[in-house]
Amino acid sequence: MTKYTNQDRFLIAVDCIIFGFDGEHLKLLLIKRGFEPEKDKWSLMGGFVGPQESLDNAANRVLTQLTGLEGVYLEQIQAYGDPLRDPIERTFSVTYFALIDINKYKMQITDQYHAEWFLLKDAPKLIFDHGAMVENAKKKIRYKAALHPILFELLPKKFTIPQLQNLYEDVYNTSIDNRNFIRKLTSTGLLIKLPEKDKSASKKGAFYFKLDKKKYVANFQAFLNFIPNPDKLISG
Amino acid sequence: MTKYTNQDRFLIAVDCIIFGFDGEHLKLLLIKRGFEPEKDKWSLMGGFVGPQESLDNAANRVLTQLTGLEGVYLEQIQAYGDPLRDPIERTFSVTYFALIDINKYKMQITDQYHAEWFLLKDAPKLIFDHGAMVENAKKKIRYKAALHPILFELLPKKFTIPQLQNLYEDVYNTSIDNRNFIRKLTSTGLLIKLPEKDKSASKKGAFYFKLDKKKYVANFQAFLNFIPNPDKLISG
DNA sequence: AATATTAAACGTCAAACTAACGATTAATAT
DNA sequence: ATATTAATCGTTAGTTTGACGTTTAATATT
């Protein structure tokens, strides 16, 4: 009794939908695929799962390979298993989304992967079912961020209110009343105001804030409602 | 170029967390595993994914095998891939939850699988990581049902308000004020009152209702809030 | 020195929603 | 006649929502 008999075995990959924010727009990190089929076409960063790796391990490895970053926020989205999704050989893929601060991404432009940041709307056509994976990831991040404070993962440790509001506005492609936004934010108690200001983006400068880690963890699972009328915005 | 070289291939299974409701309690359908390892231990119903099957196909097949039902509500939850989760051979598993009306489950007691309904709290210890899978499925169903009207899938076509309220109370292990519940329900416009009554559960009898299918579909993705203070109840 | 620009700190207000609870009527098995 | 469950009407205080008004602060630009 060492193996299951008469069963087929398949390749298993992970693919990462890597979201980044630069203070203004939400972006997507894509690579030019390095091998056949579809060599040099735009693709999600992915990789086959190795024999000793868990799915989470594989996703983290793939992400670190591309970005040099560790400890990034990573969450499993969904498994894809259409028999024909990869024309060469049947391959299952488990998708993850990653949230990173673009300014942390300083990968050497040795650039084994020819990675590039794209605005969500300007993203090129992707190989296989990667386009559908990205659409799904966008829905997921919107859904989750309407209820949980995950978007902070896209910001540096110190961030300003205008940055945060830009982020929410970009994710939901909407405009938010600044006074209501601040009121809702402060009511969460999640933010700690710092004495310093960011003067790069405006004349007056905007105060930096940081997350109250304890409250962040405590409130993470709570149902919040950061976004007015998310039901009108979300369609998946 | 017919295959990817130098990569390992693995078994892939689907496992179904089958929830059922009998008008009083939410239950879980488990089977006695029919083969080694862990033969005759309680387990989720699952099966290996075949070479021509998508994941959804495989989950539907497995569900039909066990229950004889087709067209059941089935939703992918998550992929599990710990290298040691199956001691015989590395096997990935993609979990699905199914929602069915227990009274529809009339599988012949030929009972190839020795299936049995368990109250959620009375469920036995399960093989491998199936216990964790069930816990996760419980969180998922609570989360989803707080925002989307999925629990109707657990009821017969004709159901009564008391049945529906029992269901919500059982899923969230809470008690709900009947007057507020009805008000919230009717405000969704999802229910159509039928002239008949169910007299099996009470002396007065309770009117049957059916779903307004069109409104059901239209409202399915909306963020609702069926449950007071779900943030106090949900912890995953 | 005046101006333009952005940040942010107050506030107002009507409408909607929430949760908790009161009272009453209806149907029927016992 | 009584007990039980279903269902329909409330009420009410408190909170949340979204829309919008006003004012002050800081500073780079002119």
| Pairing mode of beta strands A91-101, A11-21 | parallel
Residue spans per domain, chain B: 11-147, 152-233
What 8-state DSSP symbol labels residue B50? Answer: P
CA of B223 to C1' of C7 (A): 33
Helix (H) or strand (E) holding B194: strand B191-198
Instruction: Look at residue B146 in the predicted model and tell me its pLDDT.
Output: 83
Output phi, psi for B235, to 5 deg. -135, 30
**pLDDT number for residue A25:** 92
Q: Give me the pLDDT at residue B147, please.
A: 83
Distances A109 to A113, A124, A216, B23 between C-alpha atoms, Å:
9, 21, 35, 62
| Percent of the residues in chain B that have a pLDDT greater than 70, as a whole number | 91
pLDDT confidence of residue A225: 53
What does the alpha-carbon distance between residue A54 and residue A61 come to, in Å, rounded to a whole number?
A: 10
Phi–psi pair at B70, nearest 5 degrees: -120, 160
Q: How high is the pLDDT of residue A107?
A: 67
B50 burial class (0-12, 13-18, 19+ CB within 10 angstroms)? middle
Q: What percentage of residues in chain A have a pLDDT greater than 70?
A: 91
pLDDT 10s per residue in chain A (236 long)?
Answer: 579 999 999 999 999 999 999 988 999 999 999 888 999 999 999 999 999 999 999 999 999 999 989 999 999 999 999 999 999 999 999 999 999 999 887 665 446 788 999 999 899 999 999 999 999 999 999 888 888 889 999 999 999 999 999 999 999 888 889 999 999 899 888 999 999 999 988 899 999 999 998 888 877 776 455 544 444 443 32
- At residue B174, the pLDDT reads 85
Compute the residue count for chain B: 236
Q: If you measure CA to CA, which chain B residue comes closest to A76? A: B78
CA of A228 to C1' of D18 (A): 8
CA gap A134, A28 in Å, rounded: 9
Handedness of CA A82, A88, A91, A96 (dihedral sign): negative
Q: Supply the pLDDT for residue A182.
A: 93
What is the CATH number assigned to the segment(s) B152-233? 1.10.10.10
Q: Which of A51, A221, A235 is the closest to B90 by Cβ?
A: A51
B205 C-beta less than 7 Å away from strand C? yes
Residue in B2, B54, B234 closest to A81 by CB: B54
- Given this model, what pLDDT does residue B111 score? 67
What tokens does B108 get?
Answer: 């012949």
What was the pLDDT predicted at A230? 42
- Report the SS3 class of residue A232: helix
A187: the nucleotide nearest its CA (via C1') is: D16
Looking at domain A153-233, its CATH class is mainly alpha
Instruction: Please give the protein residue whose CA is closest to the C1' of the nucleotide C27.
Output: B204
CATH classification of B11-147, choosing from 3.40.640.10, 2.30.38.10, 3.90.79.10, 3.40.109.10? 3.90.79.10
pLDDT in tens, chain B (236 residues): 579 999 999 999 999 999 999 988 999 999 999 888 999 999 999 999 999 999 999 999 999 999 989 999 999 999 999 999 999 999 999 999 999 999 887 665 446 788 999 999 999 999 999 999 999 999 999 888 888 899 999 999 999 999 999 999 999 888 899 999 999 999 888 999 999 999 998 999 999 999 999 888 887 776 455 544 443 333 32
What is the model's pLDDT at position A223? 47
